[in-house]
Amino acid sequence: MDKVYIRGLEVETVIGIYDWERRAPQRLVINLEMQWDNRPAAAGDNIEQALNYKSVSDRLIAYTRDSRFELVETLAESLAALVLDEFQVPWLRLDLAKPGAIGPAQAVGVVIERTRSER
């Protein structure tokens, strides 16, 4: 299985359940792996047949910045659905981290795996 990945995509958004979290944007970090057959793009050296990670990144950034979810779980599910539907990937693994949310921890977050067949 081929995979296309995006690692360390940083986005700021309003997220959290506490009043103080709703007052200012917080930094989130997205890591994403997506199943994609790279052979057609490689054979023709054609971006039109590739999974364009810039387009995916731009869409994730725009969606996340505009979101106002309370839970990282909800945002993660929404991002996964967006990528599965808009980019037609058959499988993905999404890691959504909230750095600095818990003082002694580097980050907290969720990791989910989803397929188009689950949609």
**14-33: pLDDT as tens digits:** 999 999 889 999 999 999 99
Catalytic residue check, 3: no
Domain 3-118 in this protein, CATH class: alpha beta
Side by side, the strands of the sheet bearing 3-13 are 3-13, 26-35, 91-99, 107-115
Residue listed under structure tokens 């709703």: 22
HEC secondary structure over 70-106: CCHHHHHHHHHHHHHHHHCCCEEEEEEEEECCCCCCC
pLDDT in tens, 54-111: 999 999 999 999 999 999 999 999 999 999 999 999 999 999 999 988 889 899 999 9
Read off the amino acid at residue 92.
L
**Tokens of residue 97, six digits:** 């981290």
Terminal-to-terminal C-alpha distance of the chain: 21
Q: Among the options 13, 94, 98, 109, which is catalytic? A: 98
Local structure of residue 42 (DSSP, 8 states): H
Model pTM score: 0.94
